[in-house]
Amino acid sequence: MSKYTIDTATSRATPTPAPMKRVTAPAVRARKGGDPLVMLTAYDVRMAQLLDPHCDMLLVGDSLGQVVYGLPSTVPVTLEMMAAHGAAVVRGSWHAMVVIDMPFGSYEASPADAFASAARLLKETGAAAVKLEGGEAMAETIAFLSKRGIPVMAHIGLTPQAVNQLGGYGARGRGEAEAARILADARAVGDAGCFAMVVEGVVEPVAAAVTEAVGCPTIGIGASPRCDGQVLVSEDMLGMFDRVPRFVQRYEELAGRISAAAERFAGEVRTRTFPSAEQIYQG
């Protein structure tokens, strides 16, 4: 449970008054080869409320570093940032499983360090699972956490936290050696006990092969329609940014609509047509 609750009598944030059983890690794993899984990112209460009825999972991604804080990459994101946003998303949702990213530097040193970080995130947010990046090198850590009651979602292929080592955000798996490495990574984290894995920025034939090779669901992003589910950064999907990756489908153009609304508001303030009699308190 989140440590804070929302006062629905005074807050604009009023989640549904009819809680239901959340999606669980075993339920997600059982969807392998079944109905596709839906996952979107959320970083705050209101977005969680709006997305929750339509999603199986909400990902509190470390992409918030770029989307919310304007950082150049996900590398500077801290545990404190993830905990604050994770708690907000849990408060704003009631159905979807909330998965929270472990930020760079919080889990790589040792399985024990990873457990301490993951335990803190789950305690402080109420989220149900953590996600960490890496393949074979992180298999031991995934097994360590899973055996101690922490559901882990793996993340292979293009791993944004390793952008400095990878040299950019280009698609992975184009050469035979790299394709074989990605398949080996997938098998390693799958055997280690992850309940699902994100496959990001992997050329389609390799992503499809990964999906066939592992026993847990794969969640694609810039991968293959044959993955067991799909995830996008919600702000990309909603058209909030001018530039988005080629694998993103825009389902709305909210940036233009928000700008236009702000322009109308500014015009009415400057012409003193807002506030009108309907928006003021008469003496």
Residue 152: CB atoms within 10 Å: 29
Catalytic residue of the set 80, 200, 252, 253: 200
Which amino acid, 228?
D
To the query of whether residue 253 is one of the catalytic residues in this protein, the response is: no
Q: Which residues of 125-145 are buried (b: 16+ CB within 10 A; e: fewer)?
A: bbbbbbbbbbbbebbebbbbb
What residues act catalytically? 200
